[in-house]
Amino acid sequence: MSFGKGPLAALEIDDDAKEIVREIGTAINESVENSTKVAEAIERLREAGYEMELTLRLEIGLRPHAEDEDGESDGTSLELTEEDIQVLQRMKIRIDPER
């Protein structure tokens, strides 16, 4: 299994990492399936006279840790918009603003 965008960005990962990626996908799928908010929204749509078919596409991007020889990160940061943060929070993913 390889991950990345385009043929030049492929990253070969070991079997343990593959299993963890599968677990993440399963956990996200189960979260959506078990979400009362999703179920309530689907029910409201049915009450309005519509049936729904939902297809979600999950892309997981991986890259090796960017660490120097001392095991410290290179200071790379991730910039998130307010919309990004709201989406992550709805998915029950917490963001540590200090990191």
pLDDT string in tens for the chain (99-residue length): 444 444 434 556 788 888 888 898 889 888 888 899 989 999 999 999 999 888 877 777 777 776 655 555 555 566 778 887 788 888 877 766 654
Residue type, 76: T
Asked, for residue 77, whether it belongs to a domain, the answer is no
Asked, for residue 24, whether it belongs to a domain, the answer is yes
Q: How many domains does the chain have?
A: 1
Asked, for residue 42, whether it belongs to a domain, the answer is yes
Q: Whole-prediction pTM value?
A: 0.48
Q: What is the residue range of 22's domain?
A: 2-65
